[in-house]
Amino acid sequence: MRNSDFPFLPKDFIQTAEGLIFAVVSYQQHQQKVGCFLRYIKIGHAWQKVATDQANQLLQQHYPQYLYQSEQFDAAFHAVAVEDIFIHHQPEQQLQLLLQNQPQDRLQEKLHNLVTILVRNGVDGDFLGLTGSMLINQQTTKSDIDLVIYGRENFNKARQAVQLAITNGELTVLDRQLMEDNFQRRAGELAFDEFAWHENRKHNKAVIEGSKFDIGMVCLQDALTHDDGYYRKDGIKTVVATIIDDKFAFDFPASYKIDDQDTPDILVYTHTYVGQAKQGEKIKVSGAVEVNVSTGNRRLIVGSSREAEGEYIKVCR
């Protein structure tokens, strides 16, 4: 599942000696560095989650070696050299560790029950992992369960399993309070009712015994396509178009093909708009235009910054 030369995958966490934990966001190397984003800092003996602005300020002031400007993608993110990684937290190892031992808290109990339900409904347990706060044992009673599913086929089976378990009453859909919490965290460009309509049909999140959980896909190595092109930004564009291919709608980054001659491809780097639309649907999309400097091909990026201000995808209903 992992490449022995570069064993880092999205949704892994990497920890440095300074007490910083970054979430990996890229499959590929960036000049022998791991593309990532700072998520936790150590204060005393506890880990504290940090917001985007706080993360950027902290690195600018104290750890500028972890700031990275990608020439290839004309974008700024964080990156850590492999030799600076103190601990590599791997989701599949953490999940197996927790499942092999007695639950230590109520959320771990729910995790055990959730995995049992998914496996009973057709999911292969060998392709599951655990990310988020539970990957580093920092969960609270209010934490979500963030599952990783490795492989597109396995992920689609997991979505079907979630749907089936909701029908069977083993899981429930998000109630309004949980959906509003989700909406506030995402801070997207859609109104609440629009946001909830899109979320409810994705089948990549539900509730187990009062706790919300998400499933997120990580591609297997043989399904990856590496983009070696170099891009420059070319403003913002809003277009109404029809989805003509949604095969990669839940990948990271997610991608869609649309019937727009100028920008036929959409790439999505923000979780809010992953799985947002289906083949045949008409959408309104706003994103940053990127131009391939070699070919001149243009594409739309939704999530050109972590907050994706002014960028969105919504189905025209």
| DSSP category for residue 185 | H
pLDDT of residue 229: 82
Q: Is 264 buried (19+), middle (13-18) or exposed (0-12) by CB count in 10 A?
A: middle
Q: What's the confidence (pLDDT) of residue 252? A: 85
Dihedral over alpha carbons 298, 304, 308, 312 (to 10 degrees): 20
Summarize pLDDT for 190-208 with one digit per residue, the tens.
Answer: 999 999 999 999 999 999 9
Residue 140's alpha-carbon distances to 5, 51, 106, 133, in angstroms, are 35, 18, 9, 8
Q: For residue 185, what pLDDT is reported?
A: 84
List the one residue out of 246, 245, 240, 277 whose CA is nearest residue 262: 240
Domains and CATH numbers, the chain: 13-89 (no CATH), 91-218 (no CATH), 228-315 (2.40.50)
Q: What is the pLDDT, as a whole number, of residue 44?
A: 87
Closest CA to 131 of 186, 213, 28: 213
- pLDDT at residue 309 above 90? no
pLDDT of amino acid 261:
96
Tens-digit pLDDT profile for residues 23-57: 999 998 998 899 999 999 999 888 999 988 899 99
The answer to whether the CB of 201 falls within 8 A of the CB of 208 is no
Average pLDDT over residues 156-183: 95
pTM over 0.75: yes
| pLDDT for the residue 75 | 78
Round the CA-based radius of gyration of the chain to a whole number and report it: 19
SS3 (DSSP) at 134: helix
User: Is 80 in a helix, a strand, or coil?
Assistant: strand
Stretch 253-261: mean pLDDT, rounded? 95
Q: What is the pLDDT of residues 57-95, one digit of tens each?
A: 999 999 999 999 888 777 788 999 999 999 999 999 999
pLDDT of 77 reads: 87
Is residue 163 scored above 70 in pLDDT? yes
Whether residue 287 has pLDDT greater than 80:
yes
Query: Is the pLDDT score of 307 beyond 70?
Result: no
Instruction: Please report the pLDDT score of residue 46 as a whole number.
Output: 86
Taking each helix axis as running N to C, give the angle between helix 106-120 and helix 152-167, from 0 to 180 degrees, rounded to the nearest 10. 100
Phi and psi at residue 13, to the nearest 5°: -115, 145
Instruction: Provide the pLDDT confidence category of residue 187 given band limits of 50, 70 and 90.
Output: low
Per-residue exposure over 66-100, b if at least 16 CB sit within 10 Å of its own CB, e if not? bebebeebbbebbbbeeebbeeebbbbebbbebbe
Higher-pLDDT residue of 227 and 293 is 293
On whether the CB atoms of residues 182 and 174 are closer than 8 A, the answer is yes
Residue type at 26 in one-letter notation? S
* 214 pLDDT tier (thresholds 50, 70, 90): very high
